[in-house]
Each structure stands twice: as structure tokens, then as C-alpha cells.
Structure 1
Amino acid sequence: MSQPLRFALNRMVAPRLSLPEFINLAVSLKADAIEIRNDLKGVEIEDGTPPQEVRELCAAQGIKVLSINALYPFDVWNDQRREQVLKLAAYARDCGAEGLVMCPLNDPADPRSEAERSAGLRTALTQLAPILREHRLLGFIEPLGFEECALRRKRVAVDAIRAIGGLDVFRLVHDTFHHHLASEHEFFPELTGLVHISGVEDAQAPLNSIRDGHRVLVGEADILGNAAQIDTLLSSGYRGYLSFEPFADSVHGLADIRQAIGASIAHLRQALA
């Protein structure tokens, strides 16, 4: 693959570092973009770090903020969701983020029919679009491949985006883990705004038993086909970032996370050369 690979770091790759340490990690790996999260205790955003501080720390090192991860569950619209998105959108705007990652309801107890889920998705997108436009943000929709998820496949999201006239403000997150779990075969490079990458190496685990805790850095033993997925996206026009998002405690506890991420970058560059 002749296209250069553009790497970014999701906060989940090193949740125990301070924000300055995390930014320095990105700089040391020549990754010029990060994603911050609102679901990690003890670090920004949960620790009360002002958005201006995030902006200033990143600007000083030439780092861009791709997203805040995440608005959840974005597809269940109510007064609580409106309040939540207004707060996140203001923070994203003030810290210089390009957009909000938006994740759908993932709950086996969700009582809604497919028709009700579809209607809820379109209602939510219709309500979210003007808020995102007002704050000059993109909404990065991330289908989750788990069987119980209300929005598993990107095709459903694309149809809803088009139906509500949201092509200017909504983009897809192609998550290599969730793409594999959903047994999805369609790619939408022209609507993809962000790619999340992680690997799974447990070849014996049934597909429907794989969870976030299995997600490690991408290496030789990966069973998700990360390299093939990335190759397809790049070959068909995607030019954005590949953001590392491993959830496994084994990754978070590594003594040298910089070396481990560097090895994963080297592996992907070789696999896609």
C-alpha cells in the first residue's frame, strides 16, 4: 500500500498516564493526533481538566484532538441526552476537538423492535445535527458489533444519515474490532471519518464471546484482519487516521507502552507495504 499510514492514539491505549505524559507519548511515536475520553476515571475529562488546558497542552506540542469518545447511548434521544451532548459539544469545541464519537445502545435488555430502533436512530440524528453544526463539530457514528447492540452495521447508519440530510455533519467510525464482530463486509471510505484499530489474538474464543477485554495492540497473531481492513479502506480512498484503541488490561499494564505501540506500528507498516 503506497498510502502513508497516519496514526493516532485513543486515550484508552494508555489510561494511566497524565495528559502531558500521554501527549508526549504521541509525540515520541510521531503520531500527531489523539482522542480523549469522558469515561475514564482520574484523567481528563472526568477529573475536571478545563478544555482550554487540553487545547493549550496539545497546541504546544503540535497535536490535534480528533474526538471526545463518547456520547452514549446517542440513539436514545431524551432530555438527558440533549443535556449530555450540549455539555460534550461545548467541551469539544473549547478543547479544539474535531468531533464527538457517538456509540449506540448496547444492552441485551433493550425492549425495542427493529422498527423502533430505526425510528429512534433517525430521531436522534435529526436532533443532533443542528447541535453539531452550531458547535462546528462532526458526529462520528460508531456501530458496535456485539449481538445485543442496537446499531451493529454501518449500512444502517449510512441509510439513516442520508434520510435525515446529515451528510455534511455525520461520519462513520470504522472500528476493526466491531467490523469483524458484526461479520460486516461493506466499507464506506467516503463517509469514514475515523478508524479505530485493535487486535484480538484468542483464536479459540467463539466470535459472540469476544469482548473489549480481548482487545490488544495489533500484531502478528491478530485474528481480526486489521491489515486487510486497512488496506481495503486506503485502496478505496480513506485518508484519515488509524487510532489505537486497545481495552485489555494487559496493554494498560505494560512497562513500556511506547515500545509496544512502536512495534505495532512497525508491524502494520510492513504488512501494508
Structure 2
Amino acid sequence: MRFALNHIAAPRLPLPDFFAAARDLGITEVEIRNDLPDLLSEWRPEDVKAEAGKAGVTIVSINALYPFNVWGSDLPARAEDMADYGAACGARALVMCPLNDGTKVPFDSLVGALRAMKTILDTRGLIGLVEPLGFPVSSLRTKAEAIRAIQAAGGEGTYKLLHDTFHHHLAGETEFFPEWTGLVHISGVVDPAVSVAEMLDAHRVLLDEQDRLENLPQIRALLDAGYDGPFSFEPFAAEVHEAADPKGAVKNSMAFVSTNL
């Protein structure tokens, strides 16, 4: 398997140090973000591209456009700005997350957003990574529905799925779609007191033997079914972000996964 590293795994590291840490870990594929940390407001895209070139890493995605499935207000302009940035910094893909506040979004609106976004992505040579969120309040919870919408939008050549092991578990989805999957996010939950329905991003840590999300079976199922893309660490928990040695923590998690697969 190939590991990748999302900047949220070590958000306190400045961009050059984050890229260097990835390479020190033997990782050559990275993800940058527009939230934690917000590189898009802090770095010019050409400088990000230059730093990635110096470090010898590939930017697999910018994370994330939200809420991509509610096409209106300032979203089209934000989508174009983010896509422009992605193309200029050398990113391969743009992560797209659905509305996640309990509001239902009609299927036709989802399809319409995918159609509109397709032109933006295609003209810039980017892939759209559609990431269903498994939270009970999410407007797009399953990969099966995402695929149905992509097909209805004629977006087979533009879109791939982002399989997130946390959201896969929360949604109760059992089917895997390796041929549709362009990227996998991995993180664990170890808190024994929180129910699945109550799990939040703040519970997501690096993988170890206490993981409750069945990450290892998910990873094995994807690999056995033919998925050959990267598995990117995406922990949100404060204790991970505040770790004194974030590179060492990721290294330990990589060893755990590799040893136990």
C-alpha cells in the first residue's frame, strides 16, 4: 500500500517542514488544505508548487470545497478560485464535501452541482474527489448515492470517490467501490465511551490497536478488490495536532498498519 499525508496530521508544521517530514517518512504524496492550516490564504500557488518540487512530493489534493452540492451564493466563485489555485500549485484533485448541517439537499440539486462543477474541473485538468460524509446530519452519506449522481451528471471522466474510513463506518455502508475510488482517508476512533452516532471529527486520531472503525479490514478489502491509490492520514483530534513529535506519531501509525495488514 502507498501512504500519503494530509497537512492536518501536522498542522503546526510550516509548509516546507510538512513536505520535508513527509519525505523523511518515505511519503511522496501529500494533501494541502484551506482550513487547518489554511494554506490558500497564506501561500501563493506558484510558491507551493516550487516547495513541493524542492521536496520531491506530489500534491494529490486540495481539501476541501464545501458545501459543493448547494450550487449558489458565492460557491461558484469559490469553486473557480480553488480550482485555479489547484491548477497553479500542481495539485491533481480537489476534494468536494456535501452540506453537513441537517438540511436535506434534493438529488437533482446534487446532480446539477456536479454538472456545473464538471466544467470548472475539466478546463483546469483537475479531478473532483467527492467525499460522502457519514454523519447523521449529512446531506450525502453514501458512496452509492454519489456514484448514482455522478453518472446522472455525465461525470464519469471527471469525478472519483474519496473513501474515508471514518465516514464509511459512520454511514454503515458495507459496499466498496475500488474502481471509483481516487483517494482514501484513514483515521481511527479509540474513545470507548462515544457511540457511533455521536462520533465527531474531534474523535479522529491516528491508527493504533485500539481503533474502533475497522480500518484494517477496510484497507484490506480495498486492496484485495484492486484499489492501488494512496491511503492518506487525516486525523482531526487536538491531541494529534498538539503532539510534540508529529512525524514520530505518524511513523508509529504507519508501522502499525503495515505490520497488521
Shorter-normalised TM-score: what interval? Answer: over 0.9
CA distance in 2, matches of 1:201, 1:7: 21
Residues 122-177 of structure 1, C-alpha deviation per residue, up to 9 Å, x if partnerless? 01001011111000000000000000000000000001111111110000000000
2:83 aligns with 89
* Residue 214 of structure 1 pairs with residue 203 of structure 2: yes
1:34 aligns with 30
| Counterpart contact for 1:39–1:46, Cα < 8 Å | no
1:139 aligns with 128
1:11-22 aligned at under 5 Å gives the runs 11-22=7-18
One-letter amino acid of the structure 1 residue matched with residue 26 of structure 2: K
| Counterpart contact for 1:217–1:251, Cα < 8 Å | yes
SS at match of 2:232: strand
* Residue 74 of structure 1 pairs with residue 68 of structure 2: yes
One-letter amino acid of the structure 2 residue matched with residue 135 of structure 1: R
Deviation at 1:80, TM superposition (A): 1.2
Deviates more, 1:78-87 or 1:171-180: 78-87
2:174 aligns with 185
One-letter amino acid of the structure 1 residue matched with residue 143 of structure 2: K
CA distance in 1, matches of 2:192, 2:140: 25
1:52 aligns with 46
Residues 93-118 of structure 1, C-alpha deviation per residue, up to 9 Å, x if partnerless? 0000001000000002x2x4xxx521
One-letter amino acid of the structure 1 residue matched with residue 66 of structure 2: Y
Deviation at 1:61, TM superposition (A): 1.5
CA distance in 2, matches of 1:117, 1:152: 13
| Pairs aligned (count) | 261
One-letter amino acid of the structure 2 residue matched with residue 53 of structure 1: D
One-letter amino acid of the structure 2 residue matched with residue 103 of structure 1: C
CA distance in 2, matches of 1:40, 1:32: 21
Runs of 4+ in structure 1 displaced over 4 angstroms?
none
CA distance in 2, matches of 1:117, 1:233: 30
One-letter amino acid of the structure 2 residue matched with residue 15 of structure 1: P
1:247 aligns with 236
1:165 aligns with 154
Deviation at 1:180, TM superposition (A): 0.4
| Counterpart contact for 1:40–1:46, Cα < 8 Å | no
SS at match of 2:161: strand
Give ranges in structure 2 of 5+ residues lacking alignment.
none
TM-score by length of 1: 0.94
Give ranges in structure 1 of 5+ residues lacking alignment.
none
CA distance in 2, matches of 1:87, 1:79: 14
One-letter amino acid of the structure 2 residue matched with residue 207 of structure 1: V
2:139 aligns with 150
The root-mean-square deviation of aligned C-alpha atoms, in Å, is: 0.9
2:214 aligns with 225
CA distance in 2, matches of 1:12, 1:255: 15
Of 7, 15, 18, the match for 2:3: 7
2:58 aligns with 64
CA distance in 2, matches of 1:37, 1:105: 18
Residues 173-223 of structure 1, C-alpha deviation per residue, up to 9 Å, x if partnerless? 000000000011011000000000001001231111110000000001001
